[in-house]
Structure 1
Amino acid sequence: MRPSDPAAPAFVQLAAHPLRWKLLTELAASDYRVRELVERVGQPQNLVSYHLRLLRGGGLVTARRSSFDARDSYYHLDLRQCAHALAHAGSALHPALGFAPAPPPSPRPEGRPAVLFACTGNSARSPIAEALLRHRTDGQVEVASAGSHPKPRIHSDAVQVLREQHGIDISGQRPRHLDTVLGRRFDYVISLCDKVREVCPDFGDQPRLVHWSIPDPATATSTGPVGHPAFVRTAAEIDTRIRYLMPLLTLTPQEVQP
């Protein structure tokens, strides 16, 4: 390479390493703790932690303290940042190598995919996710939500944010227990709470288990605003994750990578 030649885009430099690519592909499917990533990639913890630090430094991966065990952290792939980085890398190679956002899912031959969102109280995160996925897929996906310890009612800020930001009314919805959906078949069971991930029941039929480590917007923390601003931020994060989930819902279970 001549000295004047530009360096490869940052995404290419980061993702080209085989272990970092493996970590990115694992985190594309679910949020994981370090010890889980160590098991999944089959490499020593110090090596995995080193490459996670590089990915965090490049803005592709973030980490949050677990609400189940604060000594642990969950790592999350920032899909929006990855999309921007990929688009930049493509345009650096050729202006025509951009890509458009994926379209909403089309019906599968075997019927509508079914998704369950779970959190502890089923009063904020999981009903927000349920409402947004149903809204964005226009009824083409069967969606439900439930909690391990459901609250008496949906949080008023969750109702308000969905109404203001998305024109969705869930004021008539009530939280329900995970036990009430145990007999149903789901293609995806997505936990949005570190605590419920530890106690989520077995739904049989081998649904794809996914974890989104999202803080409870109703609980005061030192990491961000509380009250209504926290619900706005939480709904925005869930909506981003849902938009990147939607293309996967067009695939059969056999087509989705393990």
Structure 2
Amino acid sequence: MALARQEVPPFVHLAAHPLRWRLLAELSEGDQRVRELVARVGEPQNLVSYHLRLLRDSGLVTASRSSHDGRDSYYHLNLERAAEMLTSAGASLHPALRMDSPRTESTPSEPPVVLFVCTGNSARSAIAEALLRHRAAGSVEVFSAGTRPKPSLHANTVRVLREEYGIDRSAQRPRLLDSLADLRFDAVITLCDKAREVCPDFGDDSRWIHWSIPDPAASNGSDEDTYPLFRATAAEIDTRIRYLLPTLTTLDSTTRSAST
């Protein structure tokens, strides 16, 4: 008996195009602007924009206005959506090809060292530092700093980490980025569009990543009014960190010389 004809799964249809696959691969390294993607893939802007629109329509890619320069937009690969579509594609071919089975990652001989950077180091980068340290359970050395640090953590930063993740950071204080200039990092991750433009060079050995995440502390309103923004920001950062962790095991051990 002939098998019923099946439609090609959406992920396979989208990712099979060479340029769309290249765009997905580039965005897997971090959030980027259209002109940066054009330079990386070497294709005309109108063609890149066309394929980005198809990826956005599928939910694989999202876009947000730069908080530093509103004329720019940053494109972001939605890894949760990609994982969902990949799982569906595998299962549609054969039940044994489901891609949601447990995976094991190798553990590096020395812990990789990661730095999170934003402007004030009172919200986004402080949340990222706490969540990566929590998720890594000692397998990653983590720092955060600000280009213009605030006097203290935002009250909602302390609250969201305590209430949503059981992490106490009430004693933490923002750190000036310049104070870390002599250290070396395996990965430097900027979470602020403005900080990305002014972040100093930590050397060719560092892997640079940008996450374009709006500042929840920039919104008007009381701490109670803005707390949902902090909760949403922490959830987004936590998702990105869960997908970041497996990639940290591939970093070159020769760069792991930073210490306090």
Q: Counterpart in 1 of 2:22?
A: 22
Aligned to 2:83: 83
Aligned match of 1:186:
185
Distance 2:117 2:101 in 1: 27
After TM superposition, the structure 1 = structure 2 runs for residues 5-154 of structure 1, keeping only pairs within 5 Å, are: 5-100=5-100, 106-109=106-109, 111-154=110-153
- Aligned counterparts of 2:192 and 2:102: Cα–Cα separation in 1: 27
Letter matched to residue 22 of structure 1: R
SS class of match (1:143): strand
C-alpha distance in 1, partners of 2:133/2:14? 35
Whether the aligned pair in 1 keeps the contact of 2:114 and 2:142 (CA below 8 Å) is yes
1:220 and 1:226 in contact (8 A); partners too: no
User: Structure 1: 5+ residue runs without aligned partners?
Assistant: none
Q: Secondary structure at the match of 1:171?
A: coil
Measure how far apart 1:7 and its partner are: 1.2
Output one character per residue of 1:94-141: Cα deviation in whole Å (capped at 9) or x when no partner: 1111123765865312x1100000000000000100000000111110
Q: Distance in 2 between matches of 1:117 and 1:72?
A: 22
What's the TM-score once normalised by structure 2's chain length?
0.91
Distance 1:47 1:113, change over 3 A: same
Residue number in structure 2 paired with 1:195: 194
In the alignment of these two chains, the number of paired residues is: 249
Alpha-carbon spacing, 1:101–1:172, altered in 2? closer, same or farther (3 Å): farther
Structure 1 residue 205 displacement after superposition: 4.7
Structure 1 moving runs of 4+ over 4 Å: 101-106
TM-score scaled to structure 1, two decimals?
0.92
Report the Cα distance in structure 1 between the residues aligned to 2:184 and 2:101, rounded to whole angstroms.
29
* Structure 2: runs of 5+ lacking an equivalent: 254-260
Q: What value does the CA root-mean-square deviation take over the aligned residues?
A: 1.9
Aligned partner letter, 2:45: Q
User: Contact 1:219 / 1:226 at 8 angstroms: preserved in 2?
Assistant: no
Deviation at 1:171, TM superposition (A): 0.5
Partner of 1:172: 171
- Give the 3 Å change call, closer, same or farther, for CA 197–18 of structure 1 in structure 2: same
Q: Is the 8 A contact 2:34 2:49 kept in 1?
A: yes
CA offset at residue 252 of structure 1?
Answer: 2.9
Show the counterpart of 2:211: 212
- The answer to whether the 8 Å contact 2:65/2:71 transfers is yes
Tell me if the contact between 2:192 and 2:212 (Cα under 8 Å) persists in the aligned partners: yes
Deviation at 1:76, TM superposition (A): 0.1
- Tell me the distance in 1 between the aligned counterparts of 2:105 and 2:98: 21
Task: Tell me the amino acid that sits aligned with residue 8 of structure 2.
Answer: A
| Contact 2:87 2:98 survives alignment (8 Å) | yes
SS in 1 for 2:96: coil
Amino acid at match of 1:186: F
Whole-angstrom CA distance in 2 between matches of 1:104 and 1:160? 33
Q: Percent identity?
A: 63
Mapped partners of 1:240, 1:190: distance in 2: 15
- Relative to structure 1, is the Cα distance of residues 226 and 33 closer, same or farther in structure 2, using a 3 angstrom cutoff? farther
CA distance in 2, matches of 1:53, 1:205: 33
Deviations 1:211-244 (A, max 9, x none): 00000011228xxx96000000000000000000
Question: In structure 1, what is the Cα distance between the partners aligned to 2:32 and 2:205?
Answer: 19
